[in-house]
Amino acid sequence: MPSPNTAVSGTSPPTHTPVRPTPPAPTLTKSDRPARPRRRPALRVPRGVRRAAGPVGLLAVWFLGSTTGVLPESVLASPIDVVQRAVDLTGTGELPQAIAASGRRAAIGFLIGAAVALALSLTAGLFRLGEDVIDASMGMFRAIPWVGLIPLFIVWFGIDETPKIALVALGVTYPLYFNVYGGIRSADAQLIEAGRMAGLGRIGLIRYVILPSALPGALVGLRYALSTAWLALVFAEQVNADAGIGYLMSNAQQYFQTDVIVLCLAVYAVLGLLCDFAVRLLSRRLLAWRASFDGEGA
């Protein structure tokens, strides 16, 4: 037998290629690295300035149109005339009294409409019988234009303050009802089941699970309801009003005073904007526990 060191005939002994060690990669010092161009910090405009850019731009276009004659005074008064008229009416006390009268109507109508909407939405959202009785009727009544009910309200309630407050209350009821009802019915069923397993009863589930889940929708409905309240008040105060912003607007319409009309519209817009701002602050405080998408970019 051939020895282990003897090569077998017809075969060649395996050859081993020596492995050369890989030289280490050269290390680069800071002086050897290519210098990157420095980026200038992006100029960020504060969000408050960006939010004000739209209204300020509209005012600028309005002012230029008035000064150049594109918008004659008979069509639309200039911003300077509107501000001057606001100063005059404030000095005589007419504008503060009108704002107080309109604010009182809006507040009473909103409270009545919000109470009715919450009672109906909680009943329809928490109980199936309430849903069967209430929700279909609310959907039917929502299809009726509430502005078209003004003649009927005059027949029912006369021409004093009652039809105006009733119209505001009706305008508030629908958006608040449907948003609260939708928020209740969108509560996570798994959270409700977890609450039951944790030993919560019906009252505990409503307080700790269902109502917090419905809170975002309720706040959205509150924003819509407040804006609708001022919109309803615009129509309501056209009906035989003897005080309020709508009363000033009606008198200005008879004498073609576009500066007073624009001033009244601006007051409505500012009051609605203040209410919306208050609801935004309330939402940030009440929904601090809820992580939500806040937009991207600057």
- For the cut 90, the answer to whether the pLDDT of residue 78 exceeds it is no
Kindly report, residue by residue over 152-198, the tens digit of the pLDDT.
888 888 878 888 898 899 989 999 999 999 888 888 788 888 888 88
- For the cut 60, the answer to whether the pLDDT of residue 4 exceeds it is no
What is the pLDDT, as a whole number, of residue 242?
79
**HEC sequence for the chain:** CCCCCCCCCCCCCCCCCCCCCCCCCCCCCCCCCCCCCCCCCCCCCCHHHHHHHHHHHHHHHHHHHHHHCCCCCCCCCCHHHHHHHHHHHHHHCHHHHHHHHHHHHHHHHHHHHHHHHHHHHHHHHHCHHHHHHHHHHHHHHHCCCHHHHHHHHHHHHCCCHHHHHHHHHHHHHHHHHHHHHHHHHCCCHHHHHHHHHCCCCHHHHHHHHHHHHHHHHHHHHHHHHHHHHHHHHHHHCCCCCCCCHHHHHHHHHHCCCHHHHHHHHHHHHHHHHHHHHHHHHHHHHHCCCCCCCCCCCC
Q: What is the mean pLDDT of residues 250-263?
A: 85
Alpha-carbon span 260 to 171, nearest angstrom: 26
Q: What is the mean pLDDT of residues 82-87?
A: 90
What is the pLDDT, as a whole number, of residue 294?
53
**More confident call, 72 vs 292:** 72
**More confident call, 8 vs 132:** 132
Q: What is the mean pLDDT of residues 113-117?
A: 93
- For the cut 70, the answer to whether the pLDDT of residue 27 exceeds it is no
Kindly report, residue by residue over 258-294, the tens digit of the pLDDT.
888 889 988 888 888 888 888 888 888 887 776 655 5
